[in-house]
Amino acid sequence: MIFTQKWTGRRVGYEESFPVTVPGDIQADYAQFMGWGDVNYGDSWAKFRQLEDDTWVYSTRVQCEANENERVYFVTKGIEYEYDVCMNGKVLLHHEGMFTPVDVDITEALSYGDLLEVIIYPHPKREGAAECRDQADQCCKPAVGYEWDWHPRLLVSGLWDETYIETRKESFIRDAEVFYTLDEDLKGAEVRFEIDCDGECEVELYGPDGLLVYRGPERVIRLENVKLWWCNGQGHQNLYQWAVYSDSKMRRGRIGFRRVRLVMNDGAWDEPSVFPKGRSNPPITIELNGRRIFAKGSNWVTPEIFTGQIDWGTYEKQLDLARRANMNILRCWGGAIINKESFFDLCDEYGLMVWQEFPLACNNYVGTPHYLAVLEQEARAIIKRVRQHACHVLWCGGNELFNDWSMMTDQSHALRLLNKLCYEMDFDKPFIPTSPIMGMAHGHYHFHEVDTGRYSFEIFNGSSNTAYTEFGVPAIVDVEQLKLAIPEADLHDPKPGGVWQSHMAFGAWGEESWFCKGILDDIFGPQETLEDYIEKSNWTQCVGYKHIFEEARRQWPHCSMAINWCYNEPWINAAGNMLLEYPAKPRPAYYAVQSSLRPVLPSARMETFAYDGGSVFSAELWLLNDAPVEVSDTIHVYIIIDGVKEHVMDWKTGVVPAQTNKRGHKIQIQLPAEAVTQKLILRLESDRYDVSEYELLLRGKKKVDEPEVKILNM
Amino acid sequence: MIFTQKWTGRRVGYEESFPVTVPGDIQADYAQFMGWGDVNYGDSWAKFRQLEDDTWVYSTRVQCEANENERVYFVTKGIEYEYDVCMNGKVLLHHEGMFTPVDVDITEALSYGDLLEVIIYPHPKREGAAECRDQADQCCKPAVGYEWDWHPRLLVSGLWDETYIETRKESFIRDAEVFYTLDEDLKGAEVRFEIDCDGECEVELYGPDGLLVYRGPERVIRLENVKLWWCNGQGHQNLYQWAVYSDSKMRRGRIGFRRVRLVMNDGAWDEPSVFPKGRSNPPITIELNGRRIFAKGSNWVTPEIFTGQIDWGTYEKQLDLARRANMNILRCWGGAIINKESFFDLCDEYGLMVWQEFPLACNNYVGTPHYLAVLEQEARAIIKRVRQHACHVLWCGGNELFNDWSMMTDQSHALRLLNKLCYEMDFDKPFIPTSPIMGMAHGHYHFHEVDTGRYSFEIFNGSSNTAYTEFGVPAIVDVEQLKLAIPEADLHDPKPGGVWQSHMAFGAWGEESWFCKGILDDIFGPQETLEDYIEKSNWTQCVGYKHIFEEARRQWPHCSMAINWCYNEPWINAAGNMLLEYPAKPRPAYYAVQSSLRPVLPSARMETFAYDGGSVFSAELWLLNDAPVEVSDTIHVYIIIDGVKEHVMDWKTGVVPAQTNKRGHKIQIQLPAEAVTQKLILRLESDRYDVSEYELLLRGKKKVDEPEVKILNM
């Protein structure tokens, strides 16, 4: 039986206790108790700084006792970050690490109403480290809370996931996991139940149609005509349900049968070709059930600063939007938490493949004995939980560890340990030590490099990486959203320092990011109002993302991944690269990306973003198809300038095989010398699919005299 | 007590038994019995083909019995490759793998004179594989015997290492290993004896000076003022001796205290520098005792076809020459055997660092359950033995596994397993999955690319790899050596096919290798006699190796390794890249390399090998210094043409710091239009160090009329 307890919180050194929510974060509870207001607004976030080195206590009076032949357990899926579990003042468990489940037998120390406490130690900070993410380089706490370029410095801890008291009979099922081995031809499978229980158990297996496949005492079941699990866009998300029963407990779960491998990208074996000769690029193409997949999606970051508040609903809104955006993969970035169970459940259902990183990001996690011990324990817990999910396709050591801002290498013991643990515990799953590895690339994160004059168009047209697993185009969020974060007095005065800066509009990643005033001025000239900047930056974000995603798809099968930075955000940033504004509001760029990720779409490859009036505009036509079916289409090409829609040509694509792109004609058009608006719209209409439209910059001499421009002062 | 047995051999299916040598290879014994003659001569090697699928039996009558409280063991360091051990016809052990020691208790089955047999199964060949090294891709037998471009197809097996019967009392020491942890400042160490013995033991430790450091019962000893082990050229090879005694057994060994790491090459963190941004090159600079080392040496291959015949003397001759050639590293290539104990003992003494590969080379070793099981068992035995040696600095998965002729990847289970086992069993030792990894390179193996016109000069001047771990310049061996392999009738008729081809002069690696007639003709014009070709090819080998080694040293510290292909050979090849002719005879190129690997030398960087008469010759002067001391010198530069030595200039280098190269002037000289000989000699004399001399090709118009050239017909 499960007993949910009522807990109270206390800040050590202070008398008063305060109400807490479990699961939750004790700093959030304390802030509410103190009336600190919405963390998203103004500089409220900064108040949490004073709580960083505090110790906290969760207390509860246990509302149950053990019957005969029962034992009582304190159970939680995880406690952030270092803590003691105490009964009546006696320490039963000391632990470091938030991803290891807790399962403490409290029977001996227990009477009804006894005091159960969880003492939470101060946030780990490596001694001598600068006050930034460096402080996290000897622990397994997510580095993001120590400040990132889209996350304020705000550290949380506490009973952040499901927590309860449980009474258990002898026949309690301590653990049940289901493994399978698919036949080489993927038609049949051997299913193995591994059950940790002292009593008798029965197992059940139901098909994706809900019909019973097996019920009985066997632990190994042979299955024929297996219905495979596919990612979004490639087939059904078939999930089998299983359950294990003893006379006092049931455990249940789901299996999605699929085979996943990393295979070599097309052409990778052909390089290098001259002496002295190096190695070929490593494989980064996902092969799912024998089919090579173009992985298209986004980087998933913490969806809430207060991770204890994340629940099924939080995930469901964002993940449903990801599925609707035609995504098939999410990269769960190593700076953030390992998500709660419902995240993976939903990804299983929605066909969103999960690339899971361990909690290492942008630091040198030196392999000291203490760090390796904590990492091993946390990694084992993470692997054991995540490996069960059909959606999970890839392990990764962490984010950007092989670059000079991290300085880990292939020799780093932490990464060798993770490789070893994944080999031992999840043999068939691919593992990469970090992203990017050889052949892959991260960046750029701006639409335009002022110093080189390159737009993201030239940058990606000129690149030939095997996978683009981070790239971003920033934009300012809309005014309604800004009002929830920026006080009225500052709203129309965006500038470095103050609340605009703490909400990441300035100085977040270099001076420009993420408002990018200098970049926007360079492209469009100085703008008059905040709304003008918002409009222009959203224009660049939409067309920029659209071009990069489609260019990466054009590079298939040499390139096999396009995963932008980033999908979501944990609070209200004033500007950034995300597709959803906090908490789950699609930005214009969301719809642009949704359009670019359609299984089949007409697409155009432009050389750049900005065109001079009177010059020749050219674009190459493509039909992009990553669906597992052959297609054909006729594409009608139009140019729209100043509202005049001009028919350019029609392209009959002919048959385009499954998962193949087809290159078409290169259109070339003499642009007018003058135009009223600065927009050149290329529009591709289709007989079968939705329209694709690209808004480009036309630097024609304006037909009418310009009014005097009032420069926005910042 | 140890009893050496007398064994006889038998080919299953044949009546007659034959005498065998143990250690040895049963095919060699059989060949001797059959009078097949020297395997090096003519096509004798081909006779062994008929023995490939035979089963063999070693037999002996055990010449001892166990006394009371004793047990009797059959012991061998390894049996190649799959075998049964039988007593009186009963199988006591079935085993696959030649690197796992055998330790079989035969007491129960034993009376004096009993029959002990070892049944050797046919050589492993993967079913369906072509008759080449592919057959070895599911076993841990060295691939080289299945034929390589310098090794005939000739497979051996048998009791290839130390083998005996041993009687053991209860206090027998089953195992003793010594581990240590050096202090961070490398001044002190904790020494730990790990002893597997049921009786009482004492331990002893003696310093490099032979004086007793400790004797007594402790298993953990604290040592101060540790004398470190250094590689050749960087300091002394200090070795401590240890012994462990019980009342019936002694075990002894040596410790060389040193700390070894792979650290980033200079400048590697600065790249890549533009977006989209990949990863930095992995580290490949050896840091020994805190000092970065330029690793200079050669690829070590099997020194005998009949690996059972290899003994201390075999190794000593070759390794002493390596040390004298100023080498500090040997790459023990994955296609060959893991060497016997005396190899590592000698490398410990001579300061030759050992890069040890596992037995994988140029194949895709697919991770089937059977293969992974054999690999794990063999790898554990290899790691346990080799990790004890001071000389051992690097583990490597195998040779060229990440290229299209092998098609393994970072995802290959075999390599992930090896990484895991090295992490578990030899935590502090670097591991790389293969050679080359990112940044490194293998090749070229020719002096001249006829199609591009590039010489090894242009090829390496234009490369900027972090490590050159294979490169070769072939030459024909000398006539006296050729006579030992090529029958008189064929000697002056070198041509593809027949005995010249089987001794690797033609068709070994493409048509040209390794005689390289077309290449030599392209450079020098058609030659008259075999001796002329030998002279010309040795000229290119000497100057080619000299240039490559010195150019790699000039690229320090961006580049940190120069390891040529290859050092030795296992039989008489007619031509090849090796520095020693079989068995241990230095070629002219050996001395050229020896000169280029001196700790300090004047060196010149030429742009190419061949110069037209009347053109301007230029060369950049360098002082190369990889010694741990600062140096200075005056270098006197001369040009010699037609025997006339002309003084060009003197360069005072000034002070050159330890382990640093200094770039000097670039000399520029107008060459004469005509010359008698085709040689341009650049000679660098030094006040302090030996001379450096480079023989280049001067394509002047000959001063005298040429006699009609008689073209050697091939």
pLDDT tens digits, A197-239: 999 999 999 999 999 999 999 999 999 999 999 999 999 999 9
First to last CA, chain A: 61
Instruction: Provide the shortest C-alpha distance from residue A404 to chain B (in Å).
Output: 5
DSSP of B161-200 = S-EEEEEE-TT-EEEEEEEEEE-TTSS-EEEEEEEEESS-
Instruction: Provide the shortest C-alpha distance from residue B500 to chain A (in Å).
Output: 27
Could you tell me whether strands B575-576 and B585-586 are parallel, antiparallel, or unpaired per DSSP bridges? unpaired
B475 is written with which tokens? Answer: 């030459």
Residues of chain A with Cβ-Cβ distance to B424 below 8 Å are: 420
d(CA B353, CA B335): 19
Q: Is A181 on the interface with B (CB under 8 A)?
A: no
pLDDT band of residue A705 (cuts 50, 70, 90) is low
Residue A330, Ramachandran bin (φ over 0: left; ψ between -120 and 50: alpha; else beta): beta
Inform me whether the pLDDT recorded for A709 exceeds 50. Answer: no
Q: What is the CATH number of domain B2-168?
A: 2.60.120.260
Residues of chain A with Cβ-Cβ distance to B548 below 8 Å are: none
Ranges of residues in chain B with a pLDDT under 70 are 701-714
Q: Is A332 on the interface with B (CB under 8 A)?
A: no
Residues of chain B with Cβ-Cβ distance to A270 below 8 Å are: 404
Determine the pLDDT at residue A703: 59
Instruction: Provide the shortest C-alpha distance from residue B330 to chain A (in Å).
Output: 20
Domain B600-702 in the same topology as domain B173-260:
yes
**What b/e readout covers B66-85, taking b as 16+ CB neighbours within 10 angstroms?**
beeebbbbbbbbbbbbbbbb
Query: Would you call A278 and B438 a contact, using CB atoms and an 8 Å cutoff?
Result: yes
Closest-approach residue (CA) in chain B for A283: B409
Q: Between A366 and A709, where is the model more confident?
A: A366
Residues of chain A with Cβ-Cβ distance to B410 below 8 Å are: 282-283, 432, 437
Query: Would you call B465 and A278 a contact, using CB atoms and an 8 Å cutoff?
Result: yes
Query: Would you call A441 and B280 a contact, using CB atoms and an 8 Å cutoff?
Result: no
Residues within 8 A of B (CB atoms), A 373-402 only:
402
Inform me whether the pLDDT recorded for A710 exceeds 70. Answer: no
Contact A57, A120 (CB under 8 A): yes
Fold of B173-260: Immunoglobulin-like (2.60.40)
Residue A156, classed as helix, strand or coil, is coil
Residues of chain B with Cβ-Cβ distance to A407 below 8 Å are: 269
Q: Is B261 on the interface with A (CB under 8 A)?
A: yes
Q: Is B472 on the interface with A (CB under 8 A)?
A: no
Contact A159, A75 (CB under 8 A): no
Fold of A171-247+249-260: Immunoglobulin-like (2.60.40)
Residues of chain A with Cβ-Cβ distance to B439 below 8 Å are: 278
Query: Would you call B275 and A440 a contact, using CB atoms and an 8 Å cutoff?
Result: no
Residues of chain A with Cβ-Cβ distance to B454 below 8 Å are: none
Mean pLDDT of the region A59-69: 90
Determine the pLDDT at residue A708: 47
Determine the pLDDT at residue B714: 47
Residues of chain B with Cβ-Cβ distance to A262 below 8 Å are: 409, 411
Contact B579, B569 (CB under 8 A): no
Closest-approach residue (CA) in chain A for B268: A404
Determine the pLDDT at residue A515: 98
Residues of chain B with Cβ-Cβ distance to A431 below 8 Å are: 411, 416
Residue of A181, A262, A279 to mutate when probing chain B, most B C-beta within 10 A: A279
Mean pLDDT of the region A123-142: 98
Q: Is the dihedral of CA A485, A490, A493, A499 positive or negative?
A: negative
Residues of chain B with Cβ-Cβ distance to A413 below 8 Å are: 423, 427
Q: Is A73 on the interface with B (CB under 8 A)?
A: no
Q: Is B441 on the interface with A (CB under 8 A)?
A: yes
Peptide bond preceding A142 in cis form (omega within 30 of 0): no
**HSE-up of residue B11 (Cα within 13 Å, Cβ side):** 17
Total beta-carbon pairs less than 8 A apart between chain A and chain B: 138
Which one-letter amino acid corresponds to residue B504?
M
A508 is written with which tokens? Answer: 């977040």
Q: Is the dihedral of CA A540, A543, A549, A555 positive or negative?
A: negative
Alpha helices in B325-441, H assignment, sequence order? 341-350, 369-386, 413-425
Q: Between A301 and A713, where is the model more confident?
A: A301
Residues within 8 A of B (CB atoms), A 133-162 only:
none
Distances (CA, A) of A397 to A140, A404, A433, B429: 12, 17, 4, 20
Residue of A342, A440, A347, A340 lying closest to A400 (CA atoms) = A440
Q: Is A277 on the interface with B (CB under 8 A)?
A: yes
Neighbours of A300 (CB within 10 A): 27
State ipTM: 0.96
Write the class of the CATH domain B600-702: mainly beta
Closest partner residue to B403 among A262, A279, A420, by Cβ? A279
Determine the pLDDT at residue B713: 46
Q: Is B451 on the interface with A (CB under 8 A)?
A: no
Query: Would you call A407 and B269 a contact, using CB atoms and an 8 Å cutoff?
Result: yes
Mean pLDDT of chain A: 96
Instruction: Provide the shortest C-alpha distance from residue A275 to chain B (in Å).
Output: 5
Residues of chain B with Cβ-Cβ distance to A277 below 8 Å are: 403, 436, 441-443
Residues of chain A with Cβ-Cβ distance to B420 below 8 Å are: 416, 419-420, 423-424
Contact A588, A579 (CB under 8 A): no
d(CA A433, CA A436): 9
Distances (CA, A) of A73 to A86, A111, A174, B192: 13, 13, 11, 42
Determine the pLDDT at residue B709: 45
Domain residue spans in chain A? 2-168, 171-247+249-260, 600-702
Q: Is B467 on the interface with A (CB under 8 A)?
A: no
Query: Would you call B444 and A276 a contact, using CB atoms and an 8 Å cutoff?
Result: yes
Q: Is A260 on the interface with B (CB under 8 A)?
A: no
Residues within 8 A of A (CB atoms), B 410-439 only:
410-411, 413, 416-417, 419-420, 423-424, 427, 430-432, 434, 436-439
Residue of A373, A523, A517 lying closest to A455 (CA atoms) = A523
Fold of B291-596: TIM Barrel (3.20.20)
Closest partner residue to A416 among B270, B419, B437, by Cβ? B419
